[in-house]
Amino acid sequence: MRGRVIRGSRNRFIIKSEAGTELDCHIKGKVLKGVEGSYNPLAPGDWVEFEEDPTCPQKGSILGLEARRNVFSRFNHKGFGRRSSAAIQQIAANVDLVCCVTTPSSPPFRPRFIDRVLLQSAIAGIPSCIILNKEDLSVDDPDIEERLLDFISIGYPLLRVSALNGKGLEGLNNYLEGKLSVFVGQSGVGKSSLINALNPKLSQRTGTLNEKYDRGNHVTSMAGLFEISSSPSNTYVIDTPGVRQLSPQGLIATDVIFYMKEFAPLAGQCSYGYSCSHVSEPGCKIMEGVAAGAIHEDRYLSFLKISEELRENINPFEYE
Ligand code: GDP
Ligand code: ZN
């Protein structure tokens, strides 16, 4: 039978069958072909082949993984050092949209984190957008506004919403309709609250930062795939565990330029062509772009930092 991964840990997964029943499944034979050695073999959104346990109808075994259309993944230091493949954590598979959920305050606005989420989405070949939640807390900060407007001018959709007072939720609902989206963001930005607000029938718990994050495994068990509205609209959202830092992976330093929207058209255009490091070379189109205001200085700093991390193989991994 065919089913979709709703949530899970390393070897136990909740699978929803095409008929709509949820089963508690293990991977048959412990190792799944094609994903041997990765930090987690399956992610919410994966389609699998499974069989029901003949003696226990709510349990089953996963037999195989269907080829993925895409996967949003991250570097995870918990797996680092054992096998390199074990450091790659699959966060969500087969998604239509990555939503970087952020806030104007509480927790503070972190544009560099947004840069990383947008970059990793581009690497995975998934369209992305920015959801600014907690609109109700908006402080008139010109720096935040400037950065948000820059994201819009680069071409990223921005949705300003408040899970608390409902502002912008109808627009968000329309935007997500018919898609499988994944919410990525630091803990406390309101990912669970938004999912609850989009479908109040979901009994997913929200809590204060401490309630949720003092209890290790609770976080993992909360993340997963949620149905916002069923057929015919088929709107789903995958919530993810809070990520404090995101180390892009799946590319080499010199490729970062291709995955940042406003940088990509300039690739190869510098006087030193593709060997330009965009730090000090004369005739560097990236630096000229920054000087002319076509590239935001902050985006340039993100670009340099990420390129350097990839070059030095530094991964500022941090887990919550
Ligand atoms: P998550 O960790 O991203 O899933 O965040 P939660 O949904 O658990 O929300 C973290 C905290 O922010 C909770 O105390 C929520 O009540 C609060 N919160 C969520 N959305 C909003 C909002 O739009 N405005 C305000 N002021 N608080 C919110
Ligand atoms: Zn250059």
Indicate the top mutation candidate among 109, 167, 186, 206 to test ligand 1's pocket, ranked by most ligand atoms within 8 A of CB.
206
Question: 165 and 31, same structural domain?
Answer: no
Question: 294 and 273, same structural domain?
Answer: yes
Which ligand is located closest to the Cα atom of residue 269?
Answer: 2
Which ligand is located closest to the Cα atom of residue 184?
Answer: 1
End-to-end CA distance of the chain: 36
Tell me the CATH number at 127.
3.40.50.300
Asked if residue 271 is part of any domain, the answer here is yes
Q: Does residue 242 line the site of ligand 1, with CB under 6 A? A: yes
Ligand 1, atom 22, residue with closest C-alpha: 134
Q: Which long-range contacts does 32-36 make (Cβ < 8 Å, 24+ apart)?
A: 32/62, 32/64, 32/65, 33/64, 33/65, 34/65, 35/65, 35/90, 36/85
Question: 307 and 203, same structural domain?
Answer: no
Residue ending a domain, among 182, 204, 239, is 239
* Number of domains present in the structure of the chain: 3
Tell me the CATH number at 17.
2.40.50.140
Residue ending a domain, among 208, 239, 270, is 239
Question: 272 and 133, same structural domain?
Answer: no
Write out the chain's pLDDT in tens, 320 residues.
Answer: 999 999 987 778 999 999 999 999 999 886 777 776 677 889 999 999 999 999 998 999 999 999 999 999 988 766 655 555 567 888 999 999 999 999 999 999 999 999 999 999 999 999 999 999 999 998 889 999 999 999 999 999 999 999 999 999 999 999 999 999 999 999 999 999 999 999 988 865 444 433 444 444 343 345 799 999 988 889 999 999 877 778 888 899 999 999 999 999 999 999 999 999 999 999 999 999 999 999 999 999 999 999 999 988 755 443 33
Question: 190 and 230, same structural domain?
Answer: yes
Residue ending a domain, among 214, 239, 264, is 239
Cα-to-centroid distance, 119 and ligand 1 (Å): 25
Question: 224 and 112, same structural domain?
Answer: yes
3-state class of 226 per DSSP? strand
Question: 267 and 212, same structural domain?
Answer: no
State which H helix or E strand residue 184 sits in. strand 180-184
Cα-to-centroid distance, 194 and ligand 1 (Å): 8
Question: 117 and 221, same structural domain?
Answer: yes
Residue 137: DSSP 8-state: G
Cα-to-centroid distance, 269 and ligand 2 (Å): 8
Ligand 1, atom 5, residue with closest C-alpha: 190
Asked if residue 244 is part of any domain, the answer here is no
Question: 213 and 297, same structural domain?
Answer: no
Kindly report the pTM of this predicted structure: 0.91
Range of the domain at 109: 71-239
Q: Does residue 31 line the site of ligand 1, with CB under 6 A? A: no
Q: Record the tokens describing residue 69, joined without a space.
A: 């259309």
d(C-alpha 99, C-alpha 299), whole Å:
19
Cα-to-centroid distance, 129 and ligand 2 (Å): 27
Which ligand is located closest to the Cα atom of residue 193?
Answer: 1
Question: 195 and 61, same structural domain?
Answer: no
Question: 283 and 190, same structural domain?
Answer: no
Question: 88 and 145, same structural domain?
Answer: yes
Asked if residue 306 is part of any domain, the answer here is yes
Cα-to-centroid distance, 255 and ligand 2 (Å): 13
Cα-to-centroid distance, 245 and ligand 1 (Å): 19
